[in-house]
Structure 1
């Protein structure tokens, strides 16, 4: 993930030492993530998906969105070790802008980031709809499942610009028009606008509506069919956490878009600082796949009951438990 091959023996010793210090700091953070955060995120994301899908009857609208986020988190977990311990880290320049490995990992990373951001955004909007209009079934589990399908499809289509960038790098000698599409800054600008600006505006609008409606108590607040009040805390925590962890990454995309392609920086220390912040922001983005399932596990009161039912079912086998309590089907709004 880091190397100082940019420097040679004729460069300033202070600049080279700065590059090595950045590499040491980044290496320590990367190892901490791979040893602690990576296995925890992998286990809890898989557990969140398995527990909820094995209890489909009791799933609510927020559960569907968090399952969607957990699946995207599993994709990030698959990309993280390759990125942090990949050829770029060992000074073999495969993690390059024109390489198949880079393009594949970039597409997977972009798709996951878009799914996480838009799932979080639509969760906040649907939660407001559920509180404002609890009997309209607009934010039902059935509708949410179809919405999540559109989220994945839209994320893949948005990442299509990276695929075009890859294709044109291989056929640019044959097709002159491809030279106009070899612009990674434009792809970063698209990701910045679609993947961050639009969700941020929508989330701020949804949170303003939610805070406004919470100040206006109505008889509907006593409706037993409404979501558990703890979901509100989980919603606020997850939205704030996602934007805190992903904002540095999208900020570096903005800087890259405004500054130009890598290698155009006026000084090597400045380039080293930018690359260090870029890699550190990617590490924060990877950590979102660990933080979200942990918050869901701690703040969702129904998760422990679903997990216990699943464990009892696995313990009893196919015959089923004779004294297993009947599952009360929740009325899904």
Structure 2
């Protein structure tokens, strides 16, 4: 709880002033996120999902992954206001959530983080396949949809396995089964390894392969222009931005896992922890904006959807002309 409760109200020490300054800075950042990033991210994530799902025929492999990340972003958008207005961020919390709410938010956050990280990882690997073997169609839309289904299933199973440690950390010690599992650091270690270490190694491997392909001039590389060049830049930029925004959160998780037995916590640690969570929430704001900015087809799909909504049940003029041309 960010309220400097470890210090007296009359305390004028350096640590107390530092705690107050950190609380003020964090409150400003949280308010800025809630006022600007939260509504924009919510609207653009929903728009990304609706526009692409309404044009399923024209969806490509990257579109499926970005829709997947947008759905995870919507979940993060739902968790963010509760977390940012809770006792971890505000000096005077709007509410104090109980154990059940805390665990629910935690599992939703963990599921979303796993989906985002593994979608980004598989996006980079499929991008390499698309560049190296463009005629095999291994990274097709059909395969990608099934892969995304496995991502959500795996994220839920992984989150529930680590959730057992969190649940047992809040129940009575009289339960024998949970008394052996009351170790929150073990859950954090699981999330650190599965949610960051494994994806990071896979992404680094994919980036090395992509850079190697770019240096080599082959016929397959020339045929890999089936994806628009702007999509190439979007894929690489999204992978880098996602890991840039999520790395601080997992680094703090690693620090907590290592230093938890000693209990070496201070105002700086809590400030960095909250700031890392805020950066993680910002990924749900950055991704749809990058997709909107760098994907040339998105504007066309959006205009087409708006025209459909304006025409209603009747076919639009451009669609009627297309049908007439097909008939004739």
TM-score of the pair, normalised by structure 1: 0.90
Q: Tell me how far apart the structure 2 counterparts of residues 115 and 218 of structure 1 sit (CA, whole Å).
A: 34
Q: Pairwise mapping of residues 158-197 of structure 1 onto structure 2 (< 5 A)?
A: 158-169=158-169, 172-197=172-197
- Larger relative contact order (C-alpha < 8 A, sep ≥ 6)? 1
Does the Cα contact within 8 Å between 1:94 and 1:102 map onto a contact in 2?
no
Question: Shift in Å at residue 91 of structure 1?
Answer: 4.3
Match of 1:50 in 2: 50
Helix, strand or coil for the counterpart of 1:136? coil
Match of 1:201 in 2: 201
Q: Tell me how far apart the structure 2 counterparts of residues 173 and 27 of structure 1 sit (CA, whole Å).
A: 36
Question: Shift in Å at residue 6 of structure 1?
Answer: 2.6
Q: Does 1:318 align with 2:325?
A: no
Q: Tell me how far apart the structure 1 counterparts of residues 213 and 166 of structure 2 sit (CA, whole Å).
A: 47
Q: Does 1:115 align with 2:115?
A: yes
Moved more, 181-190 or 208-217: 208-217
Q: Tell me how far apart the structure 2 counterparts of residues 92 and 28 of structure 1 sit (CA, whole Å).
A: 15
1:228–1:5: structure 2 CA closer, same or farther, 3 Å change rule? same
Q: Deviations over 1:142-170 (max 9, x none)?
A: 11001001101111111113431344246
Question: Shift in Å at residue 18 of structure 1?
Answer: 1.3
Question: Shift in Å at residue 235 of structure 1?
Answer: 1.1
Q: Pairwise mapping of residues 22-101 of structure 1 onto structure 2 (< 5 A)?
A: 22-88=22-88, 89=90, 90-91=92-93, 94-95=96-97, 99-101=99-101
Q: CA RMSD in A?
A: 2.1
Match of 1:305 in 2: 300
1:305–1:298: structure 2 CA closer, same or farther, 3 Å change rule? same
1:93–1:48: structure 2 CA closer, same or farther, 3 Å change rule? closer
Q: Tell me how far apart the structure 2 counterparts of residues 92 and 290 of structure 1 sit (CA, whole Å).
A: 24
Helix, strand or coil for the counterpart of 2:67? helix
Q: Tell me how far apart the structure 1 counterparts of residues 234 and 125 of structure 2 sit (CA, whole Å).
A: 14
Does the Cα contact within 8 Å between 1:117 and 1:196 map onto a contact in 2?
yes
Does the Cα contact within 8 Å between 1:77 and 1:289 map onto a contact in 2?
yes
Match of 2:326 in 1: none
Q: Which consecutive residues of structure 2, in runs of 5 or more, have no partner in the other structure?
A: 324-328
Q: How many residues align?
A: 320
Question: Shift in Å at residue 72 of structure 1?
Answer: 0.4
Find 1:278's aligned residue among 273, 279, 282: 273
1:224–1:183: structure 2 CA closer, same or farther, 3 Å change rule? closer
Does the Cα contact within 8 Å between 2:132 and 2:221 map onto a contact in 1?
no
Helix, strand or coil for the counterpart of 1:264? coil
Q: Which consecutive residues of structure 1, in runs of 5 or more, have no partner in the other structure?
A: 328-333
